[in-house]
A and B are shown apart, each in its own frame.
Chain A
């Protein structure tokens, strides 16, 4: 019961804060917005801080994907392994035969 009430209080408080963004000045310099001709700077830096992490995460994922693809091409394929007696450790190919009556 008490836990349910505290959840409601947190939910209502969060809703009120989102409805009043001017009161939630977490950024120490955001209070300067509109006080002079710095709106362009605020918008440009907002764009930078939004796009920069996305670009970095994207670049890292692309880099790791490329490395993994390169590692796959350098390693003999699973089919080749299955056709020889030298199978890779941990990777094995089985033929499963199912009889359907």
Chain B
């Protein structure tokens, strides 16, 4: 067989060319995602930007597209998110701290870990079905802000737990040993040393989790969120004694993605513009939250040097 220098070089340059070609293919593939994102934003903006005005935020939905607004939807989103955050953050951080700092290595811990991994893969609508059966009917919370907030809290719990565990794991053992050496108890060590150092990572995870929850639609439709609602929940602060009221927890509700879904499912073009405007606001909120999360991650990573 005759292997001349020339054939080898030809082969090599062919290989090199193929590698260069694949670099382009790889870049183009990532661009598919980015172009989609850009097209999505552009599409929403070109349709919906004209509808966004102060009036849009302070009007209730209406039969007339031009008068309709998202007041009840954004108030609903804010209230549901408050419940979600109050439920998911303590539970998620608590579970994460337990699994990293306290949990003994036994079958129960293993079971909990596998279970959390599996929960992250459960379709969100199944959480909605569970909440419909359990929260709405079994516990009698009804089709309320409370049910909705708890449903979304359960949905994002795995994200919070995983983020907490990862950032706690990044705290070096020497920090804990130093605290123990000074006589601190396990909880004191965790509270005063481990948690402050992992706060950046936890905060990032929480923000990303909440940004997921804001966009969730399916589970809330399943538990019976309203698609057309022309009143606001009872205000939490009252002018008369005892000044604070929790009646809003039991109020029926709608949220922004559901309002958008309602508008996009209508045949009339004018409602599609409203849907685009709502979508644009939703996108703005989630992108902003993600940007904040990325910034936090970057800042905390930079500040702490072990």
A, B co-complexed: no
Residues of B within 8 A of A (CB): none
